[in-house]
Structure 1
Amino acid sequence: MKRKMGSDNLAFKYIYITFVVALYWIVSIITVFVNKELLSSNRVNLNAPLFITWFQCIISAGICITLSQLSKIFPRTIKFPDGNPFDRHAFVKVLPLSLLFTAMIALNNLCLKHVDISFYYVGRSLTTIFNVVFSYLVLHQTTSKGCVLCCLLIIGGFMLGVDQENVAGSLSIMGTIFGILGSLSLSLYSIYTKKILPYVNHEIWLLSYYNNVYSCFLFLPLIIFTGEVGEIIDYPNLSDSYFWIALFIGGICGFSIGFVTALQIKVTSPLTHNISGTAKACAQTVMASYWFQETRSTLWWFSNFVVLFGSAAYARFKQLEMEAKHQLLLHK
């Protein structure tokens, strides 16, 4: 009887993990497609990517504030970490990370605005490379030869992908530059998150709350400086319900992707999350090519395969290294 109950619990656990991973895939892919619609579709046709990103931060911050207040009214039903983004101590500690967070989401959306969804993953594939470089420079962590080889594969796949985009006549230099800078900022953000988490009691949601609130203010001078205020004032579809509904859905997606990412990491592991993200990127590339009826060369597809294989192999090498360290600790 106990054995049957154990197998039932294990089966439920596997079903739950499968559901969470599937949910992450669905929300992540929908988020990319919705953002692409907002950033560069003829239907929306608003040249204000920073305003769109700022609005998504407004929605995310609003949801966090609502959940924070509801958790105080219904503490048994709704759980949300206690914290005040306007606390001076929290502001001083978290603001530098929020600057990186603002740069990361802005650059990612700027990249997506200028490149096709099918190339979006390759355009941002250098995050792993920057992780290795900055982990050594900032955290003084060395990398194994296997991981370095994987990094060389990723760089080769990235360069081939850029070349094939150029051959196809669809290469965006600006989009590629934004993708590289987005990868750099994401890498720095991930590394410095480890340093800041102790100041928020390792509460990912509290950190997300602070980042979104601070970004709401950090984006304002950027929007003014880039001249997007004039674009918004002159936008002919400002009263169009489709525009605001799409903008609101984009904001919900922006918040949801943070939730499902944290949930997937919680029920699996950070490395499994990376592998899942790599596989999701492959599916996303195929879906985008089919949806937008894009014809790609064999070498273009090969460049995607090299990047995806290199990323998956890197995650596998890291997993084996962690298991080896764990076994070493057990035998001490």
Structure 2
Amino acid sequence: MAARNDYQRVPVADEVEMQQRRSAEFEAASQKPAPPASDPPPSQAMVVFSVSFYLIAAIVMVMVNKWVLNAVKVPLFFLFCQLVIAVILLQLCALFGYMKLPHVDITTCKGLAPLIACNVLGLAFNTYCLQYVDASFYQIARGLVLPFTVFFSWWILGASSSRATLVAVFIVCIGFVLGVSGEIHTTAIGTALGVASSVTTAVHAIVVKRSLSVVSGTLDLAYFSNLLSAIVILPFVFISGEFFTVIEMFTEGGEGAEGLSTFLTGALVTGVFGFLICIAGFLSIKVTSPISHMISAAVRGVLQTFLGIWFFGEHVGSGRALGIIFILTGSVYYVYTKSQEQNASRPAAARPANGGLPTQTPPTSSAYAPVTTREQPR
């Protein structure tokens, strides 16, 4: 009699198919790339550096802009020079291989037309507003950015707001009213320009999101924004009559030469720091939390107020001080509540739908979406 192990069982067709399926699944699993390792948390030194970098760049922009606008009254030409310097710096970055400049074509320019129009209006309103108001009042004049952002997000995008968001908006509105009421060291036109600046800044944040689909990335968008904005602003330098003021500034001696020196120094400094503030904002948001970024912006507002008092001899009454406190408190509370809402919604979004088995979920994006252009006047 043959031994028991001399016989081999012949598999049936179903078993062959099952083995083939298992083999295919094992091979696919072995070839599947491993999930990318999460980036290590930034060091404390990098966090301190990024926050300090952002604070210095933002404060220098406001203070130097105010210093120049107090000396010479050519805000549009000053803005044009800053945009040109930013474009030159981007060209140098491309020349040394740090980035690749996008190709300028008519189709892209037409697609970015709403962004450029909003950017030019916003930068012009910012610059004129800073010319008419104190540096310490600038935070209050543009204090309605958050309420208008929430409003336009609801009106244009149909985004609903939570009760906590509405409370934050209410706090900011109280701060604006307290800061403006009884203010005797500014003009009505300065406040109106600040409100107009808040509107364009809020709309700009929405337009940026739609414009990102037209270009390849944020650096391309920054390049197009600076280049096309400079081209659009140049004719208005002639229409406004600033061109003749610039000619006089370059040809006169004495006080004119002093104004020219202030203008050239300020244009160079703000052009460079205007370029750096984009990097500073992105870096601060990347290595810190949204709340930390907003708190650093609040610290910037306080420092900006004290520097305005120190450098320009500005007077800050109780109304202006309370306005700044309420606006900064409402802004920080808004970012905090949005962060809490996103953290609460993540477990629901990551809940498995395959019978309770754990699944891999992609990383979520930050709650704070940075814009590609500077929030400070150029």
TM-score band w.r.t. shorter chain: 0.7 to 0.9
CA distance in 1, matches of 2:289, 2:112: 25
- The residue aligned with 2:229 is 215
- The residue aligned with 1:234 is 248
Give the drift of 1:226: 1.5
SS in 2 for 1:117: coil
Q: Pick the aligned partner of 1:184 from 194, 199, 210.
A: 199
- The residue aligned with 2:163 is 145
State the TM-score, normalized to the length of structure 2: 0.77
Q: In the alignment, is the contact (CA less than 8 A) between 1:162 and 1:171 conserved in 2?
A: no
Give the drift of 1:25: 0.3
Give the drift of 1:124: 0.5
Give the drift of 1:270: 4.9
- The residue aligned with 2:93 is 67
| Larger radius of gyration between Structure 1 and Structure 2 | 2
* CA deviation vs aligned residue, 1:176-226 (integer Å, no higher than 9, x gap): 11111111111111111111113223x222111100000111101221222
Root mean square deviation, CA, Å: 1.9
CA distance in 1, matches of 2:314, 2:120: 32
Q: In the alignment, is the contact (CA less than 8 A) between 1:46 and 1:231 conserved in 2?
A: no
Give the drift of 1:109: 1.0
SS in 1 for 2:96: helix
Give the drift of 1:285: 1.4
Aligned length: 307
Structure 1, unpaired ranges of 5+: 1-8, 72-77
- The residue aligned with 2:13 is none
CA distance in 2, matches of 1:50, 1:14: 41
Q: Pick the aligned partner of 2:320 from 278, 300, 305.
A: 300
What code does the residue aligned with 1:26 have?
I
Q: In the alignment, is the contact (CA less than 8 A) between 2:76 and 2:124 conserved in 1?
A: yes
- The residue aligned with 2:109 is 91
CA distance in 2, matches of 1:326, 1:288: 43
Give the drift of 1:246: 2.3
State the TM-score, normalized to the length of structure 1: 0.87
Q: In the alignment, is the contact (CA less than 8 A) between 2:72 and 2:263 conserved in 1?
A: no
Deviates more, 1:109-118 or 1:250-259: 250-259
SS in 2 for 1:198: coil
Give the drift of 1:231: 1.6
- The answer to whether 1:116 aligns with 2:142 is no
Q: In the alignment, is the contact (CA less than 8 A) between 2:125 and 2:194 conserved in 1?
A: yes
Q: Pick the aligned partner of 1:164 from 164, 175, 182.
A: 182
- The answer to whether 1:46 aligns with 2:72 is yes
SS in 1 for 2:314: coil
CA distance in 2, matches of 1:18, 1:260: 12
Q: Pick the aligned partner of 2:60 from 30, 36, 41.
A: 30
Q: In the alignment, is the contact (CA less than 8 A) between 1:95 and 1:214 conserved in 2?
A: no
CA distance in 1, matches of 2:145, 2:132: 19
CA distance in 1, matches of 2:294, 2:323: 19
Give the drift of 1:89: 2.4
- The residue aligned with 2:82 is 56
- The residue aligned with 2:281 is 261
- The residue aligned with 1:5 is none
Q: In the alignment, is the contact (CA less than 8 A) between 1:123 and 1:180 conserved in 2?
A: yes
- The residue aligned with 1:175 is 190
- The residue aligned with 2:309 is 289
What code does the residue aligned with 1:218 have?
V
CA distance in 2, matches of 1:103, 1:270: 27
What code does the residue aligned with 2:113 have?
L
Higher helix share: 1
- The residue aligned with 1:74 is none
- The residue aligned with 1:205 is 219
Give the drift of 1:35: 0.6
Q: In the alignment, is the contact (CA less than 8 A) between 2:84 and 2:227 conserved in 1?
A: yes
What code does the residue aligned with 1:297 have?
G
Give the drift of 1:159: 1.1
- The residue aligned with 1:126 is 144
Q: Pick the aligned partner of 2:45 from 3, 8, 15.
A: 15
Give the drift of 1:254: 1.4
What code does the residue aligned with 1:264 have?
S
SS in 2 for 1:141: coil
TM-aligned CA distance change 1:138 to 1:238, over 3 Å: farther
Deviates more, 1:223-232 or 1:289-298: 289-298
SS in 2 for 1:243: helix
